[in-house]
Chain A
Amino acid sequence: MNNSMTMNSGHSPESAHSVRGYIFVFIALLAGTFLTVWASFIQFGSREINIAVALTIASVKAFLVAAYFMHLISERKMIFCVMGFTALFFAGLMGLTIWSTSPDSMVHIQHVP
């Protein structure tokens, strides 16, 4: 078998340093999970703050997975372009959704007694 390394996609996982990085991310994800559960049992004053805290922790965890496990942080321009447009459309979708829940919006849901 050929023992030489032929890197073809730009990622170099062969050093022990990279493996340590993956393990560090794994531990951070576990810590984030426990932090999310712990924070959910604390009353921050309103449910909206609890939602913001949980989603912030989830976003950090998602960043760690995407950036390091999926190597997005060192990915090619083409992938950035694809995911950039996706992020834009996703943000638009969620923005429209949140806008529609505002009492001032044209499509606000109203409860009819």
Chain B
Amino acid sequence: MDFPYIVEPRRDTGLYNAKLGIWLFLASEVMLFGALFSAYVLLRVGAEPGMWPHGWLNVYIGTANTIVLITSSITTVMAWVSCKLRQYRRFKFFHALTIVLAMTFVCIKSYEYHDKFTHYEITLANGKFADGHLVERSKDFDLAKKTGRVTIHGHEVDHEVELMDMQRPEARHIQREELTIPATDIKKMERYGPWHHTYLAIYFTLTALHAFHVICGALVIGFLWGPGSRMWHTDPERFTNRIEVSGLFWHFVDLIWIFLFPVLYLL
């Protein structure tokens, strides 16, 4: 059985099936991310005054990832143009670039996640706070038994609120050094995971969902670059449509990041 409108557009809509399908899917995706952006606004406005973090993420890494994703968008569109021009080798080149850029994005994001999961806020027994990246734990370190010690590369502050705004001018002059803290002096030790702060909760939710989209998109693009490209030799028009549809999804992923970057990294 042949399905109609796989290649040729329907006369009334002017669209082939997959194109209408991907746009309907993207519409649902807008609402999915919209709900999470709404949650971000509510969490931010609902935070105690002075307790919403600024500057917790590395702007330069975020900028690099933005450039990677924007570049992948142009390679995707160039891959589609190459298909339309019946330039198969150029298509393969641009799509390979897109896959490499997608993997680069995921690697950079993984580095950022690792950075957060090795970053600790330590509530000290004297009421002060130590904040920094884990350097090492002694072998006998056990917070429950109060044995051993932990070393972080960071700094100490009197109040937790001082850890919130790392964009303030004074924060640029913070001297970070290695601090070795015995377990007996530690009241609470928490890494910068999603449970640490509502900002991190929404940061991980939004960026993990976005990274999931990047990975899924890269898998589809990888399939169309590899085994899926066999269709080019039998039905190039339909294959070109597939490249267009996967490209639309990829541009949407880029579009979401365009908003995530300033909202999470800069504001």
Contacts and interface: CB of A to CB of B under 8 A. Distances in A.
A42 to B, nearest CB: 11
A10 B14 contact: yes
B14 A76 contact: yes
Interface stretch (B135-143, B191-199, B207-215, B250-258): B250-258
A23 B73 CA distance: 11
Interface in B1-59: 7-9, 13-16, 19-20, 23-24, 27, 30-31, 34-35, 37-38, 41-42, 45-46, 48, 59
B58 to A, nearest CB: 12
Nearest to B86: A3
Interface residues of B, number: 57
A69 B77 contact: yes
A8 B7 contact: yes
A65 B81 contact: no
Q: Which of A5, A10, A70 has the most CB of B within 10 A?
A: A70
Contacts of B19: 9, 79
Interface residues of A, number: 56
Interface stretch (B115-123, B144-152, B216-224, B259-267): B259-267
Interface of B, secondary structure class, is helix
Interface of A, secondary structure class, is helix
Contacts of A93: 31, 34-35, 38
Nearest to A102: B45
A66 B1 CA distance: 35
13 contacts: A8-B16, A22-B81, A26-B73, A40-B267, A54-B262, A55-B259, A65-B73, A66-B255, A76-B14, A78-B13, A78-B20, A83-B27, A93-B34
Interface of B: 7-9, 13-16, 19-20, 23-24, 27, 30-31, 34-35, 37-38, 41-42, 45-46, 48, 59, 63, 66-67, 70-71, 73-74, 76-78, 80-81, 84-86, 233, 236-237, 241, 244, 247-248, 251-252, 254-255, 258-259, 261-263, 266-267
Given A6-B237, A61-B258, A86-B30, 9 more contacts: A1-B86, A8-B237, A10-B14, A13-B80, A19-B81, A36-B262, A69-B251, A82-B23, A82-B24
Interface of A: 1-3, 5-10, 13-14, 18-19, 22-23, 25-26, 29-30, 33-34, 36-37, 40, 47, 50-51, 54-55, 57-58, 61-62, 65-66, 69-70, 76-79, 82-83, 85-86, 89-90, 93-94, 96-98, 100-101, 109, 111
